[in-house]
A = this chain, B = another copy of it.
């Protein structure tokens, strides 16, 4: 059961900083309510008709594609505060994947009807929201590349680099510790590995001192080393301020 909350001044977090102040205010005014969900809540299922979109205010959410016959589902995206989690559902109405919270999460809810009224009256805002969904697509491409062209150690290192970079962009602070609520099995589902092998990779990362992952918390100990292991380049994230996309 979601718990409601009403708020006035919402700060622009992470990717919402792609929106100029005035447009963010206009969008925030359309938020119908703010829900709090427990960890592990299924927010929507594949194929369901969607009538609203959700903006993450705090917590972590994943999008995952269910697999046949009882196998674990594949994690295809991870959303951090400031991300729209299912804005794709606004034009498409039905999505190909499930949306699940990993941690306790606060979500701003905007009805599609309100969103439609908003963007039809504000063309630049429409273009900006379109861009946000295309940045998701860019990240999807990177995930496909990562899990196709990299080995286990590089995959996990690159994945951790992405999490570190995005989480630091959320609050514009350089932090080395991120509470993301993932289990080792979730990392396996996101990186296309088994839990047994993820466990071994995590031991290697811990022992060489670049990063440690314990109880859903990522500790970045040596960022340059981690970037080297993951061959990381943040261009594909189109971060709002550090400038130069790609």
Cβ of A5 < 8 Å from any Cβ of B?
Answer: no
**A73-100 toward B: CB 8 Å interface, digit per residue (1/0)?**
0101100000000001001111111000
Cβ of A174 < 8 Å from any Cβ of B?
Answer: no
Cβ of A196 < 8 Å from any Cβ of B?
Answer: no
Residues of B close to A67: CB separation below 8 A: 149
Report yes or no: B91 in contact with A130, Cβ–Cβ below 8 A: yes
Cβ of A137 < 8 Å from any Cβ of B?
Answer: yes
Most buried by B among A47, A120, A147: A147
Most buried by B among A46, A123, A148, A246: A148
**CA of A74 to CA of B63 in the docked complex: distance in angstroms?**
23
Residues of B close to A97: CB separation below 8 A: 141
Report yes or no: B92 in contact with A141, Cβ–Cβ below 8 A: no
Interface size on A, residues (CB 8 A): 49
Cβ of A238 < 8 Å from any Cβ of B?
Answer: yes
Q: How many copies does the complex hold?
A: 2
Report yes or no: B134 in contact with A88, Cβ–Cβ below 8 A: yes
Cβ of A245 < 8 Å from any Cβ of B?
Answer: yes
Which chain B residue has the least Cβ–Cβ distance from A141?
A: B76
Which chain B residue has the least Cβ–Cβ distance from A146?
A: B144
- With contacts A88-B137, A147-B148 known, what are 12 further pairs, Cβ within 8 A? A65-B141, A67-B149, A68-B231, A76-B144, A91-B130, A92-B135, A96-B235, A96-B236, A133-B134, A137-B137, A143-B144, A149-B192
Residues of B close to A95: CB separation below 8 A: 138, 246
**CA of A47 to CA of B76 in the docked complex: distance in angstroms?**
24
Report yes or no: B96 in contact with A148, Cβ–Cβ below 8 A: no
Cβ of A131 < 8 Å from any Cβ of B?
Answer: yes
Residues of B close to A142: CB separation below 8 A: 65, 96
Cβ of A136 < 8 Å from any Cβ of B?
Answer: yes
